[in-house]
A and B are shown apart, each in its own frame.
Chain A
């Protein structure tokens, strides 16, 4: 064999970066060769563009990724004999001090045709972003579906310091768990970070819950602007469970004014608060449907913990889950047709999907303490937190359950994942 299976070589042990391990792949992944990008010009440099693309495609579970031997010929017959179905090559050419031209071509071996060739001008700092965009282009050209690579994750890590105290850190990273940035580090719990829906970096924000003042309060972090972290006004009791309106201008919150936990909408510009549920039971974990016409939430109003959907135009609330005694923390899929939620099976808490129209519930995972499910922006995968040997890590599983990978850390628990929408 003249190819090298690349993926395992790329699992880096850099400190803050989560380790990626592919657990399950498709039965017949598409074999693809992605050669290193050729550098053109004396000062040309690369920040591992090809590696980023290889890792992305391998992680999706839908490809077997190979790297070409540098002496390999480019010839469709040659690849056909080796069972390769697609080949990617690219060039990186310096145009001025910090501006480069990156070009890439995707070649289909069996039809002996070029599926695309693209090029873009990029600042040195934008190489990763271009590699993610190219990954999305390759994914879509070969599979006919959108990828979810040019997106961001946020998650919470919890590690013990030398004094044995828990230290909580709120992190953001690219979808491949690289390019990690953390600013908020506390000795008190942080939970429920959620990306706002804007597509531009400048407007992206994260709402999260922090106990830094001795109680749960909601904060907003602007990771790409110089705005300071903002605390939402103090409410009487709990303020928690933030989630964004699809327009990014208001948030759903759980507040417990007078001790009664209900769903409220809070508008950032005028600080207006609108109460959306008023049952004496616990109502929490609300989020909007993609068209913002419905909201889904958790309530114990029936005496059991179940999922409800409120129609915001007529105000009607309908129970959505009927299977099992505990269903919680539901989120809508990007097409609005299904939910991902936490479902109790005997004594285990697993991730399930619910087809809203048919009420069909399918359990996707088989572990014990799964929580915080969230869909990838293309709707193909669900990210959630789980436990392995008593340690928290993130798992990403395809909605049918046939593919999965994990994101874990040697020295920290990883939890509370959330996946951004597509970036511009």
Chain B
């Protein structure tokens, strides 16, 4: 009770002094996005069919699927690795790419999606660019050998899809990569 009594003169003073006049007639209202969100739609989920990874789109008994299964069981790398901030292709890597080039030459109904990736170090947007450079480096080698460029799609995920979760050089080395993903021709 004592408190109330003491506060009252203070408020009276406040009223007497008035307030900064400009804001008097403005009613502050927060536009509540929750209401709007409810009105428009629920969460947007991606169409999962679009993100279909790997080579799952070949029908089981097709010639392409058999050829691909054979390729996978042979000594061919489907993931190529890169140095820190690097996108150069060395001789050993070139040899691996030639095997893929030969495979594509022999299987004209198969297209290739090259996914470039980076490790988590450095900035996300720079790594997105770096991942694309890695995939483009591989595509350039493919193009040189068989003129396959038109059948090769390049995509970069930057550092967004790591395969190894650690924060150390062994994890980073596994994440600086280009993945070969075969798809039926369009």
Chain A residues in contact with chain B, CB under 8 A? 38, 70-75, 89, 91, 99, 103, 105, 114, 117-123, 125-126, 128-130, 133, 172, 181-189, 191-192, 201-202, 211-216, 223-226, 228-229, 237-238, 240-241, 254, 256, 259, 261, 282, 284-285, 298, 300, 305, 326, 328-329, 342, 344, 349, 368-369, 371-372, 387, 390, 416
Contact = CB atoms under 8 A, between A and B. Distances in A.
A72 B40 CA distance: 50
Pairs A-B, 7 closest by C-beta atoms: A189-B160, A126-B28, A329-B123, A123-B29, A201-B31, A241-B125, A282-B129
Contacts of B167: 368-369, 387, 390
Contacts, number: 188
B44 A284 contact: no
Interface in B11-66: 11, 13-14, 17, 19-20, 23-34, 36-37, 39-41, 43-48, 50-51
A39 to B, nearest CB: 12
9 contacts: A105-B14, A125-B30, A202-B31, A259-B132, A282-B130, A284-B126, A329-B123, A344-B122, A387-B167
B3 A71 contact: yes
B23 A238 contact: no
Contacts of A181: 33-34, 37
Given A298-B126, A326-B122, A185 B44 contact: yes
A187 B121 contact: no
Contacts of B125: 191-192, 240-241, 254, 284-285, 298, 329
Interface of B: 2-3, 6-7, 10-11, 13-14, 17, 19-20, 23-34, 36-37, 39-41, 43-48, 50-51, 85, 120-126, 128-130, 132-133, 136, 154-158, 160-161, 167
B19 A103 contact: yes
A211 B160 contact: yes
Nearest to A72: B3
Contacts of A228: 40
Contacts of A121: 24-28
Given A120-B26, A259-B154, 4 more contacts: A91-B11, A105-B10, A201-B31, A368-B167
Contacts of A214: 50-51, 155
A99 B130 CA distance: 55
Contact of B126 (A71, A126, A133, A329): A329
A224 B27 contact: no
Given A212-B46, A254-B125, A285-B125, A188 B51 contact: yes
B6 A74 contact: yes
B122 A238 contact: no
A261 B87 CA distance: 14
Nearest to B25: A121
B36 A224 contact: yes
Contacts of B44: 183-186, 212, 229
B2 A71 contact: yes
Contacts of B160: 189, 191, 211
Nearest to A174: B30
